[in-house]
Amino acid sequence: MQEEAIVPIEQVSPEFERIVSKDQDLEWLASGLGIRGGPADPGTGPAEGPLWWKEGGYLLLSDIGHNQRLKWAQEEGLTLFNEGTNYANGLTRDRQGRLIACEHGSRRVTRLEPDGSITVVANKYQDRRLNRPNDVVVKSDGSIYFTDPGAPDVGLDLDFSGVYRVSPDLGTITLLVRDFIVPNGLAFSPDESILYVDDSRRRHIRAFGLQPSGVLALASDRIFADLSSDRPGSPDGMKIDVEGNVYCTGPGGVWVIDPNGKHLGTILTGADQTTNVGWGGEDWKTLFITTYHELAYIRLKIPGVPVP
């Protein structure tokens, strides 16, 4: 955990003050999360996937390295929620409030049903097993979008890293784009007209318009923002606020970028890698942040797009 408080707000544009106060503190909640190991070890992994469970008033997050799902609540602090998660990474909820998880160990995306059973959302593309599903979002029509980095790797069936869409009935999986090196975080604009996807290796975010069918309008593909920096870290998890500002983990902490691609400022964490972010709190103005080994939050002025 960060013992010495650093000034967490780095303002690049005056507009950043609309989002966060200059003197706003970053509150550290937990440390000692995640495990580092070899890249082929499924047990290698950080803290990830912070997800607010509004009706319970608590946060879920993945501790990939320890193969656990953790729970944070104001009164209880951080506790074990369940273990044996197949080294799950990104988490979200569908329109019925069911938990959707990207499982590294089983190389699949799953849905947790109310009775505790598991439904497989996706585990193959054209009869070949997925690589290592990483992060996931659900559109208002119930379709599920996820990133699948990992290729090329001699231990994997697919020779590319892809971004996919699964139809609401789970009957069809569509490869949307396959020219990312490491597709990672993804998020919809508030009106769902744009899908943002970041590439950890190339250190940028791409933006795609969506067609009515839910597939990407590939002709609209553009570099939305370049997150190159001398600071440690690379683009990873990503969320959107109700005004369309993009919050993407990257070098130094969490980059905040307006809908036109302008870098407004950075929430500095002091960590080598800031891994993901998630909105929460009763008003959805709390931004929870995971680093490789830590959990923190910061209060902002604009609410995020809530999960169901």
Boundaries of every domain in the chain? 28-299
Q: What is the pLDDT, as a whole number, of residue 3? A: 46
Say if CB 121 and CB 77 are below 8 A apart: no
Q: What is the pLDDT, as a whole number, of residue 43? A: 57
Q: What is the pLDDT, as a whole number, of residue 62? A: 97
Q: What is the pLDDT, as a whole number, of residue 45? A: 86
Task: Tell whether the torsion through CA atoms of 114, 118, 120 and 121 is positive or negative.
Answer: positive
Please give the Cα distance from 181 to 149 (Å, whole number).
7
Q: What is the pLDDT, as a whole number, of residue 171? A: 97
| 133 closest CA partner among 153, 107, 154, 100 | 107
**Fold for the domain defined by 28-299:** Neuraminidase (2.120.10)
Q: What is the pLDDT, as a whole number, of residue 308? A: 83
| 251 closest CA partner among 239, 263, 262 | 263
* Mean pLDDT per 10-residue section of the chain, whose length is 308 residues: 66 96 95 72 80 97 96 96 96 97 97 97 97 98 97 92 98 98 98 98 98 97 97 97 98 98 97 97 98 97 95
Give me the amino acid identity at 125. Answer: Y
Main-chain phi, psi angles of 15, to 5 degrees: -65, -20
Give me the amino acid identity at 161. Answer: S
Contact residues for 125 (Cβ-Cβ < 8 A; gap 6+): 158, 162, 164, 173, 175
Q: What is the pLDDT, as a whole number, of residue 123? A: 98
Please give the Cα distance from 83 to 49 (Å, whole number).
15
